[in-house]
Amino acid sequence: MREVVAQLNPLLWRVARAQGLATEEAADVVQTSWLELVRRLNDIRSPQALTAWLITATRREAWRVREQGRRYAPPAGAADSLDAVPDPGPRPGDQLLTDERDRALWRAFRLLPDRCRELLRIVAQVSRPDYTAVAEALGMPVGSIGPTRGRCLAKLRALLAADPSWSGP
Amino acid sequence: MTVPAEGPLGAEGLLDDGDQAILDRLAVLDDLLDPPPPGLDEQVSFAIALESVDAEVARLSEQLTAGSGARSSERTHSITFEAGSRTVLISIVAQPEGQVRIDGWLAPAAALQVELRLPEPAPSRTATADEAGRFVFDRVPRGIAQLLVQPPPGGTAPRVVTPAFTL
């Protein structure tokens, strides 16, 4: 199980973060989803079903935590670290990336609609056999994940094509 | 750079090399800019290594740190876990030699057995809450831990299990 945890955690982490959770909240949500899974292991028949179940559980749990956070705003002073501030998504990252093309890619990625960013972050993490699981977990018909991914990548490539630091001389 | 025409579209819709290269690079950048916390895998592996799986999962609902000391050892840290059947509140107080005392309350109050799971090779510890739902674990080593609250005897309620937390 330890290997499965190490293999799936980067994916689940992104699923939680894509819902706008701060780092500590996202880590709690990932752990809670695994604990819920343990109770239902007997119902799960394949590795794909396991992945789909965990993605779905992580998204639901992340929504729940996000909605709760909106209803009960923390009292002033309770947040003693930046970690407690909800994160709107991946950081700009320009300072961390030294490669000009990486910076261009990340800039373009951040301009995509939320739905595209979530899908691409997730499909970038998983291998092909899990695509069906991803479709199921994102609530998309299996037949539409390919076209949606294609449209998102096309948007991204159009943005990149317009950026001289990506396609430059 | 031109946008490629999409191939036959389906769950396995075709990606050209450019698309795949972009996805691969995105995964690398994502790992660099927003990595999961370093202890997450260990915490999850520890939390799910339960002997028996029949347990209700309590959600971490509140976490507060109080105290004037700048150092973590001078602070009191409290965590609230909520399950459908019961709420578990603990307060973690620093003790000498890098140990802590855990003061806990169960609500609704009940004299139930509470187990404190610690990472191997440390054995689990057991305490029994008093009628007011209070329990104590003294001189606990810092690190990760997890609480299990046994159900009232004779009932059909499951155990309550908390996520792993850091002392």
Inform me whether the pLDDT recorded for B76 exceeds 60.
Answer: yes
The alpha carbon of residue A48 is apart from the nearest alpha carbon of chain B, in Å, by: 14
Spell out the residues 6+ positions from residue A119 whose beta carbon is closer than 8 angstroms to its own. A138, A145, A148, A149, A152
* Amino acid, res. A98: T
pLDDT at A130: 66
pLDDT at B101: 96
Inform me whether the pLDDT recorded for B73 exceeds 70.
Answer: no
Q: Which of A125, A147, A160 sits opposite B13 (nearest CB)?
A: A147
The Cα–Cα gap between B3 and B156 comes to 60
Report DSSP state, residue B5. P
Q: Report how far apart, in Å, the C-alpha atoms of A68 and of each of A85, B81, B127 are.
A: 14, 14, 32
CB B82 within 8 A of CB B61: yes
The alpha carbon of residue B16 is apart from the nearest alpha carbon of chain A, in Å, by: 10
List the B76-82 sheet strands across, edge first.
B59-66, B76-82, B87-95, B99-107, B134-141
The Cα–Cα gap between B66 and B164 comes to 21
The neighbouring-strand residues paired with B94 are B100
Which residue is it, tokens 């520890």?
Answer: B46
Cβ of A161 within 8 Å of Cβ of B1? The answer is yes
Better-predicted residue by pLDDT, A167 or A112: A112
Inform me whether the pLDDT recorded for B92 exceeds 50.
Answer: yes
Which residues of A are less than 8 Å from B48 in CB distance? Answer: 1, 5, 34-35, 37-38
* Amino acid, res. A80: D
Cβ of B48 within 8 Å of Cβ of A97? The answer is no
The Cα–Cα gap between B136 and B99 comes to 14
> Could you give the percent of chain A with pLDDT greater than 70?
80
Closest to A106 (Cα-Cα) out of A133, A85, A81, A124: A124
Element (H, E) at B114: strand B113-117
pLDDT at A82: 39
Report DSSP state, residue B63. E
Q: pTM of the full predicted structure?
A: 0.80
Helix segments in B34-121, DSSP class H: 40-48
Cβ of A35 within 8 Å of Cβ of B47? The answer is yes
Which residues of B are less than 8 Å from A106 in CB distance? Answer: 29, 33
pLDDT at B2: 41
CB B147 within 8 A of CB B135: no
The mean of the pLDDT values for chain A is: 80
The answer to which of A45-59, A138-152, B29-43, B106-120 has the lowest mean pLDDT is A138-152
Cis amide bond preceding B141, omega within 30: no
Q: Report how far apart, in Å, the C-alpha atoms of A3 and of each of A56, B44, B45 are.
A: 20, 11, 9
Residue A117 sits at the chain B interface (C-beta within 8 Å): no
Under the banding of pLDDT at 50, 70 and 90, the label for residue A2 is: confident
The mean of the pLDDT values for chain B is: 86
- The tokens for A151 are 């449209």
The Cα–Cα gap between B77 and B91 comes to 6
- The tokens for A124 are 């970038």
Interface ipTM: 0.82
pLDDT at A134: 78
A24 C-beta neighbours (distance < 10 Å), count:
14
pLDDT at B81: 95
Inform me whether the pLDDT recorded for A128 exceeds 80.
Answer: no
Which residues of A are less than 8 Å from B64 in CB distance? Answer: 78
